[in-house]
Amino acid sequence: MTNAYTVQQPIQITEIFPNPKGKDGNNEWVELTNFGDSKINLENFILDDEEGGSKPYKISQIKGAPPQIDPNESIIISKTDSHISLNNTDDSVRLFDQNNELIDSVSYAKTEEGKSFAKTRILSEQGEKSIFRWTSPSPNKPNQPLYRLEGVVASSPEIKEDFYFTFMPKNSQKTLKITFDENIMDFNTAKLTFQKGKVAQLLTSKKSNREFTLLDYKLDYKTEENQKLQNNVQNLNTSPSTTSPLDRESRSISLQSQENSSTETSSTSPIESANTTEEKSIQSIVPQKTTIELLIPLIVIIVLIITLLFLFKLKKTKIKNKIETWNQQSL
Ligand SMILES: [Ca+2]
Ligand SMILES: [Ca+2]
């Protein structure tokens, strides 16, 4: 493994387009992005698919120009130049530097026609992670990030032009509009699932500062912190919400994606990469606060109370002894 090397490696495979609509022809491409601070020349870097597939392509020029990428820029290497055919079933894309060192690789186990497999950042209060997912192609353009929101349903689903409910993220006093469509769930299920006061984690894409689109979700109630959040919203609510069988159930639609943490090495072998191509749900993406973390403040309070009681008792005993001594003396 060349973990340290890979983490520092600024050139990454950020998007691949293996299955264009209709005849694939030369319409397939691979997008590379420079995350470093300086311009990088890709001359003599090698692009390849899985072991034993198409002939490796030694990068010499891109559209007749030297193959250079500026910081935070992306380039497309099309099949016209590379002659690399990507399977519409499963395949890999691998990038080697001029020393023939593998610097990045991406594998997939299936494709969606007309969609690209794009490295996507997931932003949340805990930081960010990257996954690969099938989405609308964005050649030469930054891949749109996703947002993981944690908080409480502020108002139950309604229909106005589209399905939506409102949501209040933790540490925020402003509600967001969360739209969703029937690919996520039908309206009646949504009404049961996203009742007012329900604590949830939502995976969304951003439409505007106040409007997000739901892609995946997870309901969550057990923690003390969530109970408080829930109570806060319930107190705002005059009509108590009814409980449904869904209340005790943690539900999740699987997000068809490949987890590929940005902190992990991406220079895994095609076999290892294939193993991580399993569909993963938001549950595996979302780090949970442990019970221990939540119990610590409680333990501290209990210890304090015990100490205070002990001190109080000690003092009481001393006073009692004094009174007895004084009584004896006065007798
Ligand atoms: Ca293809
Ligand atoms: Ca892109």
Do both 119 and 211 map to the same domain?
no
- Which ligand is closest to the CA of 121, given by its number? 2
Residue scoring higher pLDDT (44 or 329) = 44
Smallest-distance ligand from the CA of 144: 2
Distance 144 CA to ligand 2 centre (A): 8
73 and 105 in a single domain? The answer is yes
pLDDT at 303 over 60: yes
The per-residue pLDDT for range 110-119, each reduced to its tens digit, is 999 999 999 9
Q: From the CA of 18, how far away is ligand 1's center (Å)?
A: 5
- Nearest ligand, CA 33: 2
In the reported structure, the alpha carbon of residue 70 is separated from the centroid of ligand 1 by a whole-number distance in angstroms of: 29
The mean per-residue pLDDT over the stretch 135-159 comes to 95
Would strands 11-17 and 116-124 be described as parallel, antiparallel, or unpaired?
Answer: antiparallel
Of 252, 276, 302, the residue at which a domain comes to its end is 252
In order of 159, 199, 266, 307, the CA distances from 163 in angstroms are: 5, 19, 38, 55
Same domain, 236 and 195: yes
Determine the distance separating the centroid of ligand 2 and the alpha carbon of 253, expressed in angstroms: 25
- In the reported structure, the alpha carbon of residue 30 is separated from the centroid of ligand 2 by a whole-number distance in angstroms of 9
Same domain, 122 and 158: no
Q: Which ligand is nearest to the CA of 114?
A: 1
Query: Which residues constitute the domain of residue 240?
Result: 146-252
Q: HSE-up of 12 (CA within 13 Å, CB side)?
A: 25
For residues 227 and 318, membership in a common domain is answered with no
My answer on whether 130 and 192 are in the same domain is: no
Q: Is the same domain home to 234 and 302?
A: no
Pairing of strands 57-58, 11-17: unpaired
270 inside domain: no
Is residue 52 included in any domain, yes or no?
A: yes
Structural contact between residues 253 and 216, judged by C-beta atoms closer than 8 angstroms: yes
Report the mean per-residue pLDDT for the chain: 80
Confidence (pLDDT) at 174? 92
Q: Tens digits of per-residue pLDDT, 13-32?
A: 999 999 999 999 999 999 99
Over residues 8-16, the mean pLDDT reads 90
Most confident among 179-193, 211-225, 265-279, 289-303 (mean pLDDT): 179-193
Is a pLDDT exceeding 50 seen at residue 288? no
Task: Find the 187 Cα to ligand 2 centroid distance in Å.
Answer: 33
H helical segments located in 130-208 = 187-193
Which of 86, 109, 135 is the last residue before a domain boundary? 135
Tell whether 171 and 206 lie within a shared domain. Answer: yes
Domain CATH number, residue 157 = 2.40.50.140
Same domain, 111 and 29: yes
In a domain, 53, yes or no: yes
In our burial notation (b when 16+ CB lie closer than 10 A, e otherwise), range 194-214 reads: bbbbbbbbbbbeeeeeeebbb
Q: What is the pTM of this model?
A: 0.64
Query: How many whole angstroms from 272 Cα to the centroid of ligand 2?
Result: 24
Residue at a domain's end among 252, 280, 314: 252
CATH code, domain carrying 45: 2.60.40.1260
CA pair distance 12, 93, nearest whole angstrom: 11
**Mean pLDDT within 211-218:** 95
Q: Which residues pair with residue 150 across a beta bridge?
A: 201
Q: Residue 173: is it exposed, middle or buried by C-beta count within 10 angstroms (0-12/13-18/19+)?
A: exposed
Put residue 25 in one of left, alpha, beta given phi > 0 → left and psi -120 to 50 → alpha: left
Distance (Å, whole) CA 290 – CA 300:
17
